[in-house]
Amino acid sequence: MKKMTVISAIWAGWMMALPGAAMAQTVLKVGYVLPTTSHYGYAVSVLKVEVAKRTDGRYRLEEFPSGQLGGEREMVEGVQLGTLDLVLTSTGPITNFVPDVGILDIPFLFTDGAHAHRVLDGKIGQDLLAKFPSRGLIGLSWADQSFRHLTNSKRPVNTPEDAKGLKVRTMENPVHILAFKTLGANPTPMSFPEVFGALQQGTIDGQEQAIPGSASTKMSQVQKHLSLTGHFFSPAVFIMSPKAFNALSPADKQNFLDAAKAASMSLREYMKEADAKGVEQMKKEGMQVVYDIDKQKFQAALKPAYDEYAKKYGQANIDAIRNAK
């Protein structure tokens, strides 16, 4: 919250310092599914400042958090149609639009955050962003939401066997769905705004997302167990509507690209603290935390899924990511 307040103050200062901004200001809508107190909220607040600064206040972002404009898939569709200007989304729904992005969601693909950043900042990540325009989307920048972890209301998950039979909400992502099916869980794709209610009613047993997301959406109120599985890295991405992007001057197109990159870099630093704070917060709120799992056992159990991923994405492409230096 403190960082969010500082960002808001900086943004307000920029607007006050630009007396001509109100006269010729274009307002663009940006949506995301998490609350303003989340890592998504932080990233969008930085983006707002960076856009205002780089365009001398000619563009202002109006944010719509907490799924006000729908789930991630609906918002990506809105961006594609031009009814929404920007979205910060996980890769969950992106595979439905840019299928090759699914390779990034393979479980236990990245050894740590630094490895993931090398891939996203390098040729592999940039080549994937270059595929977005042909699908009616402009990928501005990869953003960081760290690794995803499992929560549930039934039991501690220490081993793959513990996940069997759990009805787990997943994103609408075939890579994720296959992974949980292979582990013997019952994956249930669901739009994020529906998740809390479904957990409350017992329609599903658990969910998985990044720690700051689980903490900011108060999963501790409907979940008893948190397992630090780190199964997917699953980056987020700033996406802009071609309609809005193509209306920009060449200089402002670069300004938006630079603003998104700056917001993404700031989010990386934010996430270093947010992960640790989120775990402690949920622990204080009563959740039981499993800190150490045997990732090798999970990887062995996922062997049939890895065979399918190799067929779909190519083993050479997967190895290129695993071995990225």
CA distance 45 to 138: 20
CB 62 within 8 Å of CB 95: no
User: Looking at residue 15, what is its pLDDT?
Assistant: 56
Structural domain boundaries, residue 305: 148-232+277-322
Residues 53 and 155 reside in one and the same domain = no
CA distance 96 to 90: 12
User: Looking at residue 316, what is its pLDDT?
Assistant: 98
Q: For the chain, where are the E strands, in sequence order?
A: 26-31, 59-64, 86-90, 138-143, 148-152, 167-170, 186-189, 206-210, 225-227, 236-240, 288-290
Angle separating helix axes 2-16 and 39-54, nearest 10 degrees: 20
> What are the CA-CA distances from residue 109 to residues 38, 130, 283, 290 (Å)?
25, 22, 28, 21
Tell me what the mean pLDDT of segment 59-78 comes to.
Answer: 97
Residues 124 and 68 reside in one and the same domain = yes
| Residue given tokens 């989120």 in the structure block | 278
CB 33 within 8 Å of CB 68: no
Residues 160 and 42 reside in one and the same domain = no
Domain at 227, CATH number: 3.40.190.170
Give the pairing type, strands 138-143 and 236-240.
antiparallel
- Amino acid residing at 167: K
CB 313 within 8 Å of CB 102: yes
Residues 285 and 272 reside in one and the same domain = no
pLDDT of residue 18 exceeding 70, the answer is: no
Please report how many Cα atoms fall inside a 13 Å half-sphere around the Cα of residue 242, on the Cβ side: 9
Question: Is residue 99 exposed (0-12), middle (13-18) or buried (19+ Cβ within 10 Å)?
Answer: middle
Q: What is residue 17's DSSP assignment?
A: T
Residues 102 and 201 reside in one and the same domain = no
User: Looking at residue 320, what is its pLDDT?
Assistant: 98
Residues 59 and 157 reside in one and the same domain = no
User: Looking at residue 268, what is its pLDDT?
Assistant: 93
Residues 80 and 199 reside in one and the same domain = no
CA distance 157 to 243: 45
Tell me what the mean pLDDT of segment 296-316 comes to.
Answer: 98
Residues 152 and 107 reside in one and the same domain = no
Question: Is residue 154 exposed (0-12), middle (13-18) or buried (19+ Cβ within 10 Å)?
Answer: middle
More confident residue, 4 or 141: 141
Of 10-19, 36-45, 181-190, 262-271, the poorest mean pLDDT is in 10-19
Residues above pLDDT 70, as percent of the chain:
93
Residues 40 and 172 reside in one and the same domain = no
pLDDT in tens, 147-164: 999 999 999 999 999 999
* Domains identified in the chain, total number: 2
User: Looking at residue 21, what is its pLDDT?
Assistant: 45
Q: Two tokens at 170?
A: 């997943």
Residues 270 and 287 reside in one and the same domain = no
Angle, CA of 282, 287 and 289, to the nearest 5°: 95
Residues 130 and 172 reside in one and the same domain = no
pLDDT of residue 20 exceeding 80, the answer is: no
Q: Which residues of 33-66 are buried (b: 16+ CB within 10 A; e: fewer)?
A: bbebbbbbbbbbbbbbbbbbbbbebbbbbebbbb
| Residue given tokens 């103050």 in the structure block | 9
> What are the CA-CA distances from residue 273 to residues 59, 211, 268, 321 (Å)?
31, 11, 10, 26
Give me the DSSP letters along 293-309. --HHHHHHHTHHHHHHH
CA proximity to 53, closest of 10, 111, 99, 116: 10
Listed in sequence order, the residues at least 6 apart from 168 whose beta carbon sits closer than 8 Å to its beta carbon are 150, 152, 180, 185, 186, 187, 188, 204, 205, 206, 207, 208
Residues 175 and 94 reside in one and the same domain = no
Please report how many Cα atoms fall inside a 13 Å half-sphere around the Cα of residue 78, on the Cβ side: 20
